[in-house]
Amino acid sequence: MQTNSAAAPLDKLAFDNRFTREMPGDPITENSRRQVRQACYSLVEPTPVAAPRLAGFSKEAAALLDLSAEACLSGSFTSVFSGNALLSEMMPYAMCYGGHQFGNWAGQLGDGRAINLGEIINSRNQRWTLQLKGAGPTPYSRSADGLAVLRSSLREFICSEAMHHLGIPTTRALSLILTGEEVVRDMFYNGNPRSEPGAVVCRLSPSFLRFGNFEILTARGETELLKKLVLYTIATDYPHLKAVDSVATYIQWFTEICERTARMISHWMRVGFVHGVMNTDNMSILGLTIDYGPYGWLEGYDPAWTPNTTDGQGRRYCYGNQPHMAQWNLTQLANALYPLIGAAGPLNEALDVYRTTFQESWQVTMAAKIGLKNREPEDAELISRLLDLLRRTETDMTIFFRRLAHVGTGTGIAHDGLKLFEEAYYAPAQLDAVYGEQLNSWLQSYVSRLRRNSIDDPQRSERMNRVNPKYVFRNYLAQQAIDKAETGDFSMIDKLLEVFRRPYDEQPEHEGYGAKRPEWARNRPGCSMLSCSS
């Protein structure tokens, strides 16, 4: 691996590398697949690629590293963030963790195709870990090659930044770089593999620690290392807490994880985001959205919808199950922390905090989505009736709630619901008179409720448009960008990044990016459901 000591602006990155400095590593340096014990990471270098080519970068993510656009367009940037060169202070490594996958303990998993380059401290004293995804095999790759394809990499790159601008806690994405090499993948695991362009994404996060980092240590009985990792995490990522070895500290920390996770899930539900693979190894210890695999946004409002083909039968991780599955995952983390606590009661109390935090957050969120500033007891029934209506016919969630802000409350105003929301319906021919009457009845109740609201129509509309996005990263938009990028045309990547910088603004010049899924995309691979193949 080449060490790049003349990387111009890149050499100003101030590496700290606290994780590898303070936590025990794997004493074996050979990059061979193995079980790694009594260690939190293994040193491993990225695999160089043939012909790296920058396909896109996020100027906002670059600013977190104090990097200019000029630096991101340099050859050094492409070389470093494709894995072809290391800066002198980088110490690349892959993490060891386990996890529950679809409800079953899977044992050791680890960073099978992710390699952390190191941690930097920016000019605002913020810590950011730089991670390459798709940069080659690690000791945790098992039988895989550690690589990633353009298809999944583009989706992760754009979605990470889109989620940030939607106001959702998330890891970030700095760059998308094609490798110039082909990677063979069977997209739907149906015996039809094909070659696809390879790519590497550079992801950023204050920490990439997951629930599974703690689970693996408890599963192996490595309690002293578990304690050391917990105290490290508190000191590094929760510095407002005192990193002392006490049950009170551990419970305070776990309670805050529960609160952060509850708020994250409430945000997912607010915008109709479905993660698709909420395994415990995909749950961030910081309450961030992490690992964008087979995700998607609700188009037709269906709480049972999942974007993941692997989950198509059980629908464990469907939209409506996400709050429950987050609590299930937190319970597994509680089990992992039990050796440090020695009692179930305090952990169960913290889990109750998750439940109450989510319920309160969700009530506030739904009130905001329909424009209610003050809350009344009958609001729950009003919201329940609305969600029932959305389920009765294929209704685009994003467009419906955006259009709801147009409802007026002036005297004598009568709304024709089918006309008002016509842009949101996927099968308008199926809308009969009975549905129209039920919708108009709900609108009458809604208008009556709004007239008791403490804000006027313009204020309400403006507030609703701050929580109901106009633009979300629909799967068909991703597939269109992928199709172009596979021909070497990266223009749609830049365009989508531009649109998603202001997802709550009208942006008339980009109106087409807010349209509902076209019919041609209903069953097209990549536009409806996806797999974990990458």
The candidate with the shortest Cα–Cα distance to 258, out of 286, 232, 237, is 286
Q: Is 57 helix (H, G, I), strand (E, B) or coil?
A: strand
Contact call for residues 518 and 476 (beta carbons, < 8 A): yes
CA distance 399 to 428: 14
Q: Is 127 helix (H, G, I), strand (E, B) or coil?
A: strand
Contacts of 25 (CB under 8 A, 6+ apart): 39, 40, 41, 42, 43, 93
User: Which H helix or E strand runs over 323?
Assistant: helix 322-341
State the residue for tokens 């980088």.
90
Radius of gyration of the chain from its Cα atoms, rounded to whole angstroms? 24
CA distance 299 to 98: 33
Q: Is 61 helix (H, G, I), strand (E, B) or coil?
A: helix
- The conformational region for residue 516 under phi > 0 = left, psi -120 to 50 = alpha, else beta, is beta
* DSSP string across 82-137: TTSEEETT---EEE--EEEETTEEEEE---SSEEEEEEEE-TTS-EEEEEEESB--
Distance of CA 534 to the CA centre of its chain: 16
CA distance 439 to 416: 9
DSSP designation for 317:
T
* DSSP string across 244-309: -S-HHHHHHHHHHHHHHHHHHHHHHHHHTEE-S---GGG-BTTS-B---SS-EE-SB--TT--SBG
The candidate with the shortest Cα–Cα distance to 266, out of 211, 319, 334, 305, is 319
CA distance 417 to 433: 11
Q: Is 120 helix (H, G, I), strand (E, B) or coil?
A: strand
Contact call for residues 478 and 521 (beta carbons, < 8 A): no
Is 253 buried (19+), middle (13-18) or exposed (0-12) by CB count in 10 A? Answer: buried
Per the structure block, which two tokens stand in for 267? 């945000």
DSSP designation for 512:
G
Per the structure block, which two tokens stand in for 390? 């959305």
CB hemisphere CA count around 392 (13 angstroms): 14
Active site amino acids: 281
User: Which H helix or E strand runs over 383?
Assistant: helix 379-392
Contact call for residues 330 and 258 (beta carbons, < 8 A): yes
